[in-house]
Amino acid sequence: MEYKDYYQTLGVSKQADEKEIKRAYRKLAQKYHPDKNPGNKSAEEQFKAINEAYEVLSSPENRAKYDQLGQNYHRYQQMGGNPADYDFSQWFSGGGRGQRVNVDFGDLFGGSGGMSDFFNAIFGGGMRQQRPTGMNDYFSRQSINPDIEQTVEISLEEAYHGATRTFSQNGDQFTAKIPAGAKTGSKIRLRGKGNQGPQGRGDLFLVVKVLPHPTFKRAGNNLHVTVRVDVLTAVLGGKVEVPTLTGPVHLTIPAGTQGGQTHRLKGKGMPQLNDNEQKGDLLAEINIRVPQKLSPAERDLYEQLARLKEGQPVH
């Protein structure tokens, strides 16, 4: 059986007092709590190890027995003994040295399976066990979270105009309004739609995720769009059609427009959340489209342009 160094687990010295141990425990428990690490098996195992260590070191009786075991175990190693051959049986709960210890943390993890074999052998004893009062208070606050977060996906058009979604929670059906201007990460709070907690029913937080759009890219409240322009319009200037979320508009571009140039259309971007009168801009980037197929007449004209550019006679 493997010896567990509970002091190392909590990152405290063997001389640490009760306050130091509690402070270290709470810091680590908050860091690795399952509510903050959903689906993270490594964090879950670390959380169990932290609680197991605190279960022992927070109780003077448990700690005294553990310290006696540790001194004996390390002395055995220093004398050249093989750690794998150490006889732990004399320290088993209810046998030999020490005393029966009335502790358990199994109910947090669904029975004794949440604790290591080392803990169960030394401190378990198969008894009905009880967490220390301080830990009951702490976990009643930490492990029961009445608030709920739920991701809701919307299109860019819905983010522009606003949207609604219907949900069922705790047997009730209700409609939630997602305001115009919402962006990925925006949270909509629905009071009293969460889980039942010690202090009453919590809230439901809808976390918005705006799906990618095939035409527009969003940056804050601005939108970016690529506008394809034919060579003749780029050379001579003219009007091009630019898509927006409220329908196409016409943009006049000057003669000699280069590929990559960007034109700003004021107020054609996304509305400001909670102030829809304010809107971002639409940035239209010019992409010059070179024809891939030419008719004989078109090719002849381009060849005449080429000869004209080179100073050759045009016929």
Alpha helices in the chain (DSSP H): 6-10, 18-32, 41-57, 60-78, 106-109, 117-119, 133-142, 156-161, 231-236, 296-309
pLDDT over 60 (residue 209): yes
For 148-210, CATH number? 2.60.260.20
Top-confidence residue, 80 or 278:
278
pLDDT (mean) for 210-217: 96
**Which CATH number, 1.10.1200.10, 1.10.10.10, 3.40.50.920, 1.10.287.110, labels domain 6-142?**
1.10.287.110
Tell me the per-residue pLDDT of 119-160, one tens digit each, with 9 for 90 and over.
Answer: 877 776 433 344 444 444 444 444 456 788 889 999 999 999
Q: Which of 193, 200, 188, 151 is nearest to 172 (CA)?
A: 193
pLDDT of residue 34: 81
pLDDT of residue 101: 36
- Print the SS3 string covering 286-305: EEEECCCCCCHHHHHHHHHH
The answer to whether domain 6-142 and domain 217-309 are alike in fold is no
Residue 269, phi-psi category: left (phi > 0), alpha (psi -120 to 50), beta (remainder): beta
CB neighbours of residue 311 within 10 Å: 6
Cβ atoms of residues 1 and 117 within 8 Å: yes
Tell me the per-residue pLDDT of 269-300, one tens digit each, with 9 for 90 and over.
Answer: 999 998 988 999 999 999 999 988 889 998 88
Pairwise CA distance, residues 303 & 297, whole Å: 10
Domain range list for the chain: 6-142, 148-210, 217-309
Pairwise CA distance, residues 172 & 190, whole Å: 13
Tell me the per-residue pLDDT of 175-202, one tens digit each, with 9 for 90 and over.
Answer: 889 999 999 999 999 888 887 766 677 8
Cβ atoms of residues 212 and 225 within 8 Å: no
Architecture of domain 217-309: Sandwich (2.60)
pLDDT of residue 90: 66
Give Cα separations from 125 to 153, 172, 210 (angstroms).
Answer: 51, 46, 54
Residue 232, SS3 per DSSP: helix
